[in-house]
Amino acid sequence: MTSVTTLIFSNFKYLLLAIIIFSSMMVGLLILSEYIFLEPYVVSHIPSGTEFGFILILTISFLSALVLPMNIFRINILKKSKQKISGGIFGSVIGAAAGACSCGPIGFAVISTFGSVGATATAFLTNYEIPIRIIAIGILTITYFTTIKSLKIECKFDPSS
């Protein structure tokens, strides 16, 4: 597994893409989850009891930064086979989207736009934020291992070379 990952991230383009994905997802999710505040100054704060949620956000950001460049590498290798490619990208998108569960201030916009349905959805996402993030980490982990497996099989990757 590490030889496939090393092969992909030895290319500067994929390493830079992973750094950009990690940074943007981490900052975006931390802002949405209200760990980073932008007004009146840029301030970060981890309230007592929310450390686990913070660690889950970092894990989702790291796994997304690992999986998405690998799938882009896979797409570049297997441009002809569209059906085999869709699963890896689909898992990455679901995992990344599920990481942004607690909407914070965005929840008010959802409530005002969709009324009681928006309020119910926001309450559900807020109440089940941690389990949904854990499921997202599971999806991203499965996506990582299936991507590694498909790169070894479909691309005829030889780890000894």
Taking 90 as the threshold, does the pLDDT of residue 31 lie above it?
Answer: no
Helix 12-32, helix 2-9: angle, nearest 10 = 100
Convert the pLDDT of each residue in 32-53 to its tens digit: 888 888 888 888 888 888 889 8
Region for 27 from its dihedrals, namely left if φ exceeds 0, alpha if ψ lies in -120 to 50, beta otherwise: alpha
- Residue 36 β-bridge partners: 44
Convert the pLDDT of each residue in 71-127 to its tens digit: 888 878 777 555 555 555 555 555 555 544 444 454 455 555 666 666 666 666 667
CA distance 117 to 83: 35
Taking 50 as the threshold, does the pLDDT of residue 19 lie above it?
Answer: yes
